[in-house]
Copies of this chain bind each other. A is one copy, B any other.
């Protein structure tokens, strides 16, 4: 345990300055606020203040905030109402990591830790006023590290073929009133360790859609569309699962006379899947306002894919940290060089293109972050949300009125300056989920039957809810 806590750090004039300022405070946690100067930015201890601005009604401007005019005049400077919505969708993306069971030794590895009715409550996200209507599962061999595939441990895990890939959620009455419509959110899970899937990217393009000109990266498409009768949770693909649910929900609310929007969000790989999802949804549900809010997403497809997305009216806002390498993938060097060539000829079908509108934020704008090279930290969702929270306009310093809890940045990385004394990678369960039983033995507790989304082993009966879902899937897809 001691070795983990010891990390190399370079001292810098700035951190010395901060440390000297802080050394006047014997306690990190203090009553009220104490203003400390840090360059040009006031640095306040905000422990006793709320972490968000009050919610505001956006009903009369929701379409603009949803991107109907490509966020024209809303990004630089960043409109405060838009900022709030971006952070909301970012937290929905982060939830896909917080709830995912990463423990490769657990029999539940690859599943969501919580039942869908408890997901937001367990993660403190019920404040947003959405309810989860469905979980999405995808087949994903790119996510199973090669050593795990070869080991026998796989035989016992929850499912070696499918992983929990995200969820569909809907705004409740109160939130729908505030935002002026019923909002259906789809959040796709990415990977925190992009190198693992990046290595497996074949960097070859496959056609999508009816014309064959639009092409997207093979691996992303494979995750989105793979299915196999041999699996338990992917007899239907992720695509089929999510489209079935979206169509059902859109029909349900339209019949009630409500306005409906679809907002698809995701980080990293999840941002790529969000684009594929948006492409399909726009084809299946023309006229439905569809926006994508992605964070640190790589390029996904060729120029024809980009153009078709735009033609279908899909609005895409890509939030990008300047120092993050993932948005430059695939083909960092290749693309950079060819881009210039492509700009001239406009005819390279097989070059990857970004789509939509970019909001670029900069690690160096924040005095709370270390600026040194940190691949994982630059790519982390919480780094993104911290920088969005502090973003006023390009080139400006961090907003002094920013309220978001700084500690969140270090949930799954070590980006915060050490003077703030927030532990690194702090988001973790007590004793990795082990609990003491009646004899004092440390054991993995069984999940509540409600929290097992599907039965384990043979001979168990499906939970009634799952049985309903299964029957509905079967009815929809004739499986």
What is the interface of chain A, defined by CB distance below 8 A to chain B? 1-3, 5-9, 11, 15-16, 19-20, 22-23, 26-29, 46-51, 97, 102-107, 124, 145, 147-148, 150-153, 155-156, 191-193, 196, 405, 407-408, 412, 418-419, 421-434, 436-437, 439-444, 446, 456-458
Q: A422–B444 Cα gap in the complex (Å)?
A: 8
Q: Once the chains bind, are B419 and A153 in contact (CB under 8 Å)?
A: yes
Chain B residues, CB < 8 A from A16: 152
Which label, helix, strand, loop or mixed, suits the secondary structure of the A interface?
A: loop
Copies in the complex: 2
Q: Once the chains bind, are A8 and B412 in contact (CB under 8 Å)?
A: no
Q: Once the chains bind, are B26 and A440 in contact (CB under 8 Å)?
A: no
Q: A441–B407 Cα gap in the complex (Å)?
A: 8
Chain B residues, CB < 8 A from A457: 26-27
Choose among B102, B103, B423, B442 the residue that contacts A433 (Cβ–Cβ < 8 A).
B423
Closest to A104 in B: B5
Q: How far is the CB of A256 from chain B (nearest CB, A)?
A: 34
Q: Once the chains bind, are A444 and B28 in contact (CB under 8 Å)?
A: yes
Q: Once the chains bind, are B440 and A51 in contact (CB under 8 Å)?
A: yes
Q: How far is the CB of A269 from chain B (nearest CB, A)?
A: 12
A-B contact pairs, 17 of them (CB 8 A): A2-B196, A5-B103, A8-B147, A9-B147, A19-B151, A22-B156, A26-B458, A27-B107, A27-B446, A47-B437, A51-B439, A103-B423, A405-B441, A407-B442, A422-B434, A422-B442, A426-B434
Closest to A98 in B: B1
Chain B residues, CB < 8 A from A429: 430
Closest to A455 in B: B26
Chain B residues, CB < 8 A from A153: 19, 418-419, 421
Closest to A445 in B: B29
Q: Once the chains bind, are B423 and A434 in contact (CB under 8 Å)?
A: yes
Choose among B7, B23, B102, B419 the residue that contacts A1 (Cβ–Cβ < 8 A).
B102
Chain B residues, CB < 8 A from A107: 26-28, 421
A29-B446, A434-B407, A439-B50 are contacts. A105–B422 as well, Cβ < 8 Å?
Answer: yes
